[in-house]
Amino acid sequence: MLQPLFAMANTSPDQLAVPGGIVKIAVADKSQTAPTVLFNNNRVAVSKNNSHWFALVGIPLSAKAGTQQLLVNNSQKLSFTITDKDYPAQYLTIKKKRMVTGFTEQDLKKINADKIAISKAKAIWTEQAINTDFIAPVDGRLSSLFGLKRFYNNIPKRPHSGLDIAAPTGTAILAPASAIVIDTGSYYFNGNTVFLDHGQGLLSAYLHMNKITVKPGQQVKQGEPLGTVGETGRVTGPHLHWMVYLNNTPVDPALFIAKDIPRLDARNNK
């Protein structure tokens, strides 16, 4: 069984072999052509270091602890192990009750249309080299962690699929790395949203925005503005809900900005 790689470049995200985490695995010698890697029938990003091609695998929150398998070049199976992680519960009160229950027929029509549009954006795959050199997209306060078991008005909902950074409405949201804007939209739950493509299925999304200042197809560089913080959609206050996807799977964005997390979190003690 292959063991995950630990000695990677500083620009690579931290590894955490748990549901919602990321695993880096050597899949071929660097002298070979870039391998095609699948996990749960989804393409997996690959990159090359000084000795190997390695796969950067996003692990679903629904994954069970134990052995997982990659399929390399449609022939070779490689195994790796993940351990369990118990994410805590979070209870939130949503004042706009139709954001939780009592949806109208028109609401449901909008929600279903949003699901189709979001699924299409999440399925994007481009062969460009993957860019994992991320900065924090907002200068704010770390307000809600990834993976929390969410309860809205005491009703259980899906686990928290992103990282929340609280900041005043109008605070700039910046591209964490160079990317191409996949799409923008105004969604029932997510509010004003931007999707970015960082290459090979590494995508990021920016939810609940006040203003959007980019357009689909636009190329952005690290640090360029995408728009501003807001409180559109299902929220309890102004903040950025930041999502990162690998192989069509939401993973913990904190793993991409691990060095910056203590600074954002320290603001909770002020």
Confidence of residue 8 (pLDDT cuts 50, 70, 90): very low
**Mean pLDDT confidence for 208-233:** 97
What is the C-alpha to C-alpha distance for residues 99 and 188, in angstroms, rounded to an integer?
8
* 243 in the same domain as 160: yes
Q: Is 27 in contact with 49 (CB distance < 8 Å)?
A: no
State the residue range of the domain holding 61. Answer: 22-82
Q: Is the confidence at residue 10, as pLDDT, over 80? A: no
Structural domain total, the chain? 2
The predicted structure's pLDDT at residue 50: 87
* 62 in the same domain as 139: no
**Mean pLDDT confidence for 50-61:** 95
The predicted structure's pLDDT at residue 128: 87
By percentage, how much of the chain surpasses pLDDT 70? 96
* 101 in the same domain as 68: no
Adjacent-strand bridge partners of 178: none
pTM for the structure as a whole: 0.93
Can you give the CATH number for the domain in which 198 is found? Answer: 2.70.70.10
Q: Which of 59, 82, 105 is the last residue in one of the domains?
A: 82
Strand residues in 141-202 grouped as ranges (E):
141-144, 149-152, 155-156, 163-166, 172-174, 179-187, 191-197
Residue 7 lies in a domain: no
Residue 10 lies in a domain: no
Strand residues in the chain grouped as ranges (E):
22-29, 37-39, 42-43, 45-48, 52-58, 66-72, 76-82, 89-92, 141-144, 149-152, 155-156, 163-166, 172-174, 179-187, 191-197, 203-212, 219-220, 225-229, 239-246, 249-251
**Mean pLDDT confidence for 201-227:** 97
* 68 in the same domain as 43: yes
The predicted structure's pLDDT at residue 267: 85
Q: Is the confidence at residue 7, as pLDDT, over 50? A: no
The predicted structure's pLDDT at residue 269: 77
The predicted structure's pLDDT at residue 4: 37
